[in-house]
Structure 1
Amino acid sequence: MQIRMLFTSLALTALCFPTLALALDKPKGEVILTISAAHLDHPNIDETAQFDLPMLEALTSRTGEMETPWTEGKVKFSGPLLRAVLEAAGAHGSTLKIIALNDYSAEVPVEDAAKLDTILATRMNGDTMSVRDKGPLFLIYPFDKDASLFNEKYFSRSVWQIKSIEVSE
């Protein structure tokens, strides 16, 4: 009886917290994001957490339609919540260094992922984002939910063409 209750409890936990994983699968397709940290709870390749597009799109996500300084008119962005990606990797720390394909980087407090519905956008207007269109990943703040975020502080953290995230204390 106790074993059945334990399995039921574990099954309910998995249903209630789908981004919690005991292990992170290895990517089957092209790696588009690598997360590194002093310690990751769920590394899948060496000491990093690497993701392909299907892995990212399987995480808890959000879609938001908003205006940005980098696009014309309202644009619909969708992708996993940044906090869901960090949880899947088991990344802990206080600062994220978001690094683009051209090695541009920005420091982002982990608090932005925890408290704001920041999107690691994989799609713009329903289409996967190519490098030409600021892809494969673009950190989007919830400008549609909070107009006070529409300022230079958050614009400077909105990195596009993201390739990796380094997590530090």
Structure 2
Amino acid sequence: MAGLRTALFLALFGGPPAVTADPLPAPEGDVLLTVSGAILQTNHAETAQFDRSMLEALDPVTFETTTIWTEGAQSFTGVPLAALMDAVGATGEAISATAINDYSVEIPASDWEDGGPVVAFLNNGEPMSLRDKGPLWIVWPFDDDEAYRSETIYSRSIWQLDRIEVTE
């Protein structure tokens, strides 16, 4: 009889219950980034909040590139945007990234590719202050791909980032 119940359950619901990833821990330090919208993983109300140590735990990468806003080659360390979207279980087609001064940009999901943008928290090995485009800056490895050196991508490179909304 149990086998019949299992078969009926699988037929009705398409498979066993989904197993969810470990929930996001609550931030212990100052919140640097709040992600909301079409996400499956939350840790505060219906948002996912991240402090510096939580971002550092998401396998950050470091690359060197030049930018149109800085002098010479710069080293950036941050969480790949794709990894951040995976961590929050993003289900949308784009993000609205917003800075502390409420400036915002839209970034399509197609930009969340491996080797693409990072949410940088270090510039040349140092945390970025508000004066220096911090504490978070979405940066592409501009020197790695000519496609990254376009007005469209430059316009999506938002600094003083503090909020992301994942949109449908």
TM-score normalised per structure 1: 0.84
Superposition deviation, residue 135 in structure 1: 0.5
Tell which structure's C-alpha radius of gyration is larger.
Answer: 2
Q: How does 1:43-122 map to 2 (within 5 A)?
A: 43-122=42-121
- Per-residue CA shift, 1:98-146, capped at 9, x if unaligned? 0000000001001101354211000000001111110010000121321
Deviations along 1:18-55, whole A, 9 cap, x unmatched? xx9421000000000000014x2110000000000010
After superposition, give the CA deviation of every residue in 1:56-107 in whole Å (9 maximum; x if it has no partner). Answer: 0110221111110110000001111011111111121001100000000001
Which stretches in structure 1 are left out of the alignment for 5+ residues? 1-19
Letter in 2 for 1:25: P
- The letter for the 2-side match of 1:88 is A
Q: Which amino acid aligns with 2:34?
A: T
CA distance in 1, matches of 2:34, 2:26: 12
**Bigger Cα displacement from structure 2, 85-94 vs 25-34:** 85-94
1:128 corresponds to 2:127: yes
Q: What is residue 37 of structure 2 aligned with on the other side?
A: 37
Compute the TM-score of the two structures, normalised by the length of structure 2.
0.85
Indicate conservation of the 8 Å contact 2:119/2:137, yes or no: yes
Aligned residues: 149
Percent identity between the two aligned chains: 46
Where has structure 1 moved over 2 Å in runs of 4 or more? 114-117
- Counterpart Cα distance in 2 of 1:132 and 1:96: 25
